[in-house]
């Protein structure tokens, strides 16, 4: 099956070009299921192992603090759910490549990254609302501009703005007054692992057919590992909510 490259069509991954199908590209998405399970486990433990209100809250508490806790809990729950959507969307795209399944592949990734960046700016860097909005807007515009060049770097240019933001988060967490310096090593690990993931994604066609599976499955594995580092840094701390009720 011959394919062409644009974000609106189908991408000729090495495995499909060699064998006509993508069993490894499909099955390697199981790592995103594992990432989702890890995120859910961490979320449940941070809430004391239950599904009720966060630790330290009351069923009758209607204070602004409770509202912030519930908002933070909803953000963490969404962050934990998105890896399952990423795995399903990517598996569908690699098994049945089409415009619709490509959208199912890209959209959950974009939502996960956007939420992770937003949480990092809030929970870790503790920036005010306007700087957070400005950074997210800049990331969005840069990503959309990169999406206009789908052939560059085998499509990996799309993820360059994400890498730039990730690379900045760790050093900023370590240096900004009031930021969570304890999260800096995890954010640095996130950026480093995501860099390796992008190298694997970009190398898929240049190295084809060695290996015959291509390197795209390695992109899945390393991207999920980067996601695990990010979840660890951004989810509520194990053992209970932090002193800030939003966390």
List all residues 6 or more positions away from 124 whose beta carbon is below 8 Å from its beta carbon: 169, 173, 179, 180, 183, 187, 233, 234
Residue 132 lies in a domain: yes
Is the pLDDT assigned to residue 152 strictly greater than 50? yes
The per-residue pLDDT for 235 is: 87
Q: What is the dihedral of CA 166, 135, 85, 13, to 10 degrees?
A: -60
Confirm whether 166 is domain-assigned: yes
In a domain, 54, yes or no: no
**What would the two tokens of residue 170 be?**
């760790």
Domain total of the chain: 1
- Is 241 within a domain? no
Report, as an integer, the average pLDDT of 147-172: 95
**pLDDT (mean) for 136-145:** 97
**pLDDT tens-digit series, residues 217-240:** 999 999 999 999 999 999 866 544
143, part of any domain: yes
Q: Give the domain extent around 198.
A: 18-48+63-234
Residue 148, domain CATH: 1.20.1070
- The predicted pLDDT at position 87 comes to 98
Give 64's pLDDT tier (boundaries 50, 70, 90): low
Decide if 55 is inside a domain.
no
pLDDT of the residue at 73: 85
DSSP three-state, residue 123:
helix
91 lies in some domain: yes
């Amino acid at each position: 099956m011959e394919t062409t490259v644009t974000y609106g069509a189908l991408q000729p991954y090495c495995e499909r070009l060699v064998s006509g199908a993508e069993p490894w590209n499909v099955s390697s998405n199981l790592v995103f299921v594992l990432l989702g399970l890890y995120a859910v486990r961490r979320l449940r433990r941070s809430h004391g192992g239950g599904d009720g209100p966060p630790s330290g809250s009351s069923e009758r508490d209607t204070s602004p603090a409770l509202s912030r806790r519930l908002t933070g809990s909803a953000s963490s729950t969404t962050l934990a759910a998105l890896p399952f959507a990423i795995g399903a969307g990517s598996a569908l795209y690699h098994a049945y490549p089409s415009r619709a399944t490509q959208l199912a592949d890209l959209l959950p990734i974009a939502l996960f990254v956007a939420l992770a960046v937003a949480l990092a700016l809030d929970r870790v860097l503790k920036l005010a609302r306007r700087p957070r909005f400005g950074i997210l807007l800049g990331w969005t515009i840069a990503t959309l501009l990169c999406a206009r060049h789908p052939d560059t770097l085998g499509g990996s240019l799309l993820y360059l703005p994400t890498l730039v933001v990730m690379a900045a988060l760790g050093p900023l967490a370590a240096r900004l007054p009031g930021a969570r310096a304890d999260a800096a090593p995890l954010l640095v690990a996130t950026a480093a692992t995501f860099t390796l993931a992008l190298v694997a994604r970009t190398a898929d066609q240049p190295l084809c057919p060695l290996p015959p599976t291509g390197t795209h499955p390695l992109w899945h594995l390393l991207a999920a590992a980067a996601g695990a580092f990010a979840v660890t840094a951004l989810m509520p701390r194990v053992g209970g909510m932090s002193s800030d009720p939003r966390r």
